Structure 1
Amino acid sequence: MPFALLRYGLRRAHRPFDDIPPTPPLRQSYDVAIIGGGGHGLAAAYYLSHHHGIRSVAVLEKGYLAGGNTARNTTTIRSNYLTQASIRFYREAVSLFGTMSQDLGFNVMFSQRGQLTLAHSEATMRSFHLRAEMGKHAGTGVEVVDARTVRELCPHLNMDEGGQHEVLGGLWHKDGGTARHDAVAWGYAKRAAEKGVEIHQRTTVTAIRSQGDRVTEIVTDRGTIRAGQVLQAAGGLNGQIAELAGFPLPIRCFPLQAMVTQPLKPFLHTLVSSANLHTYLVQSSRGEIVIGGGSDPYQLASTRSTFDQKEALAQGALHLFPFLHNVRLLRQWAGITDMTPDYSPIMGASPLANYWLDAGWGTWGFKATPVAGKYMAETIATGRVPDIIAPFALDRFDRFALLNEMGATAASH
């Protein structure tokens, strides 16, 4: 145990500190306004203030800090994608998560335990070989493993030998892991606030006014502000916010549900996912089994949860780990995934010269938090889109330069 922590624990009296300052009154103008106080918006605020010296920043959050999709995910971090652009991007995200606790001085509980995606058919095994080769070419830790290795990595797994969902092998991504989602958001918020970034919770953007090709004013329910640059990072509400700015985005919203069980003794030491069963599981640091799956098959901008999805996730989890049949569920929740046609995000320029986009994340948003914040901050500070996010430009749909990541999901859609 570090001596500083021991001294702090044995101290008879200590002065508590506020991680996040109270919401201040809105000023008339800021250098940068960020619409969305989730992980991406807060990460961008941190990098703007710490790496680029831009401290006149207002983060505008409709609800409470990181209460949207940042609080409604299953914390998976990985880089085993299909296209070179995505692999390169998420590989850096994994690297940034690895040093985040030290960089922020805030424990985000990053655990690099690896991810195992199961193959129940020879066709899936062939597709895994393609993903493994793409990953190796880009320098990520991913390989195809046989059934024996799957059993070694996850000895409690039901291999269903001879059954409909027999496990023939898997895709082992040793770099995969998890982090505490609220800690990530609060770590970025705390450090950004220390540099003067203002975090305005319970502040709803109601209108965005522009003149020519530039945004001039942002109207909120607490007042109107001017900003030299604006970043949109509003999660499931990105489509609605873009409409306020006067242009459409190729986004459709689908609910994405998950649930968690009562705590158990540790037995699941890696992330396990099955596209056939539309289910993935990971055990949290508190012992809870987090169970997720694919997006709901209908468009809806809602965070309501349903019994149908609970039943489907339970069936998949019980097939993989039958001994969970008497375990109680504690919570169920849903987020709003803003899906693009090619299942890849939209980052960079918009039709307005001083309005930047961080949208269309679908089910990939949390794992991209640090790298998206880093490069969106660089884009705003320099006015140039870095090469690493250039392939994710909005105009790729006009150029038909799509980045198809539909098959890279951990549990299928």
Structure 2
Amino acid sequence: MGFKHWNAGGYSGLRVLAEGLLGNKGWTPAWRDPAPKDSYDAVIIGGGGHGLSTAYYLAKNHGLTNIAVLEKGYLGGGNVGRNTTIVRANYFLPGNSEFYSHSLKLWEGLEQELNYNVMHSQRGLINLFHSDGQRDAFARRGNAMVNQGDDAVLLDRAGVRRMLPYLDFDNARFPIYGGLYHARGGTARHDAVAWGYARGADRLGVDLIQNCEVTGIDVEGGRVLGVQTTRGAIKARKVAMIVAGRSGQVAAMAGMRLPVESHILQAFVTEGLKPCIDHVISFGMGHFYISQSDKGGLVFGGDLDFYASYAQRGNLPMVEHVMEAGMALMPMIGRPKVLRSWGGIMDMTPDGSPIIDKTHIDGLFIDCGWNYGGFKAVPASGWCMAHLMATGESHEVARGFRLNRFETGHLLDEEGTGSQHNLH
């Protein structure tokens, strides 16, 4: 049996108080644990944030409820339950900008939509810059964000010091020139997002099937017919592959080779501290980002480990690199003990932007290549993937994420780092 979250009926403050007084004996499973049926209208491979949100919006927006989400482990057991929880819409390029703007709007209404507390906290995100060139780049990015309809404020050194007085402003090697402040950015509770979408999809009639690994994709005459699983064959007219770092492996079952590489991204959390970091902070001279969780732990991460791997763990040199970046930015964090680290398998594309598209096989869809942007994209990814599966057409905010852009040259190289997967 996979993990179950518990709930009976709806959630409310009164209900939580009553259950606390009565020994919490009234909660029941938040979603069913059904056996797989022989056939469905659509099967979604992958029970992470993107797969669950796709199932939810297929049912909610398009009325398609004869759907199964197949997860080889337990729901939310992959990257959605092991990330640094950052939510933002501070992208620069057309194609990315409108997509993440749409996603942030969905985040802002998500708890009301799902009647579930995903702990979305718009505490503000500050990207620091440390040179004149970086200032110019962030000024352009901020203008693009404002033109898109999102918020951005360019802070000078004094403005950053007023908000983040604990940073090392006297560091001769990495002087802080200022920062780009994105007030609507923030964090959300990663696993609660998966639970909220799972509960919502289940209530709309979607079958969430755990401990059901897909072992093959049935294709005949250029059309998908269904999947083979460890719990038997399942027929389906539409199949969506939404498996993050396992995208290349699952696509190979259908004879496809995707333009993705899987890399490891580590993250870390410290022991609980009193509130000391009110925002999400990103270091501009090293890939380091940090926030403080509701439980008091400092949650932070940095670069990929820079080698392809399917292992959910990282190497010690990258641990040292991330710690060095954190200490260079804010030496005050040197004393807390690091409780744990973990690694997520990141599906990296050559241009650093995702893929949401149909494949050359009729009825087979792909949602992958989220690089560093997967968690913040969960609502919009599901919204757009559901639109694509239901209508056969790309949603207007996801038209730049087509698979054939790597053939046509219409790339979305947000970071401007070329065609090396590991540099994005």
- The TM-score with structure 1 as length reference comes to 0.95
| 2:78 matches 1:68 | yes
Distance 1:241 1:373 in 2: 19
Paired position in structure 2 for 1:146: 156
Alignment of 1:381-392 (within 5 A): 381-392=390-401
Paired position in structure 1 for 2:414: 405
Work out which of the residue numbers 325, 342, 354 in structure 2 matches 1:333.
342
Residues 317-339 of structure 1: per-residue CA shift (max 9 Å, x gap):
12222122221010100001111
Work out which of the residue numbers 278, 291, 311 in structure 2 matches 1:302.
311
Distance 1:407 1:274 in 2: 18
Kindly state the Cα deviation for residue 20 of structure 1 after the two structures are TM-superposed. Answer: 2.5
Paired position in structure 2 for 1:175: 184
Distance 2:232 2:51 in 1: 20
Paired position in structure 2 for 1:166: 175
CA contact (8 A) 1:255 1:299 kept: yes
SS for the counterpart of 2:366 is: strand
Residues 159-208 of structure 1: per-residue CA shift (max 9 Å, x gap):
135x0011011111112111001000000001111222111111111111
Residues 14-53 of structure 1: per-residue CA shift (max 9 Å, x gap):
521101222x322110001000000000001111122222
Paired position in structure 2 for 1:38: 48
Alignment of 1:2-401 (within 5 A): 2-3=13-14, 5-11=16-22, 14-22=25-33, 24-161=34-171, 163-401=172-410
Distance 2:336 2:107 in 1: 32
Kindly state the Cα deviation for residue 2 of structure 1 after the two structures are TM-superposed. Answer: 5.0
CA contact (8 A) 1:247 1:351 kept: no
Residues 250-290 of structure 1: per-residue CA shift (max 9 Å, x gap):
10111100100001111111111113122111111111000
SS for the counterpart of 1:85 is: coil
Structure 1 gap ranges (5+): none
Amino acid at match of 1:48: L
CA contact (8 A) 2:102 2:397 kept: no
Q: Are residues 12 and 251 of structure 1, via their aligned partners in 2, closer, same or farther at CA, if it must alter by over 3 Å? A: closer
CA contact (8 A) 1:258 1:334 kept: yes
Amino acid at match of 1:109: M
| Matched pairs, number | 408
Kindly state the Cα deviation for residue 238 of structure 1 after the two structures are TM-superposed. Answer: 0.6
Distance 2:78 2:69 in 1: 14
Kindly state the Cα deviation for residue 11 of structure 1 after the two structures are TM-superposed. Answer: 4.9
Amino acid at match of 1:399: T
Amino acid at match of 1:353: D
Distance 1:84 1:175 in 2: 20
Distance 1:308 1:21 in 2: 43
Kindly state the Cα deviation for residue 83 of structure 1 after the two structures are TM-superposed. Answer: 0.7
Distance 2:318 2:81 in 1: 19
CA contact (8 A) 1:228 1:354 kept: yes
Distance 1:363 1:99 in 2: 23
Residues 92-121 of structure 1: per-residue CA shift (max 9 Å, x gap):
111111111111011000000111111111
Q: Are residues 364 and 331 of structure 1, via their aligned partners in 2, closer, same or farther at CA, if it must alter by over 3 Å? A: same
Residues 313-359 of structure 1: per-residue CA shift (max 9 Å, x gap):
21111222212222101010000111111100000211112111111
Amino acid at match of 1:404: D
Q: Are residues 173 and 209 of structure 1, via their aligned partners in 2, closer, same or farther at CA, if it must alter by over 3 Å? A: same
Amino acid at match of 1:392: F
Residues 287-328 of structure 1: per-residue CA shift (max 9 Å, x gap):
100010111111112211222222222111122221222210
SS for the counterpart of 2:113 is: helix
Distance 1:12 1:388 in 2: 47
Paired position in structure 1 for 2:5: none
Q: Are residues 141 and 64 of structure 1, via their aligned partners in 2, closer, same or farther at CA, if it must alter by over 3 Å? A: same
Distance 1:145 1:12 in 2: 50
SS for the counterpart of 2:166 is: coil
SS for the counterpart of 2:308 is: coil
Q: Are residues 81 and 398 of structure 1, via their aligned partners in 2, closer, same or farther at CA, if it must alter by over 3 Å? A: same
CA contact (8 A) 2:303 2:318 kept: no
CA contact (8 A) 2:219 2:226 kept: yes
CA contact (8 A) 1:84 1:138 kept: no
Amino acid at match of 1:147: R
Distance 2:116 2:175 in 1: 42
Kindly state the Cα deviation for residue 5 of structure 1 after the two structures are TM-superposed. Answer: 4.8
Distance 2:25 2:308 in 1: 50
SS for the counterpart of 1:297 is: strand
Distance 2:190 2:311 in 1: 20
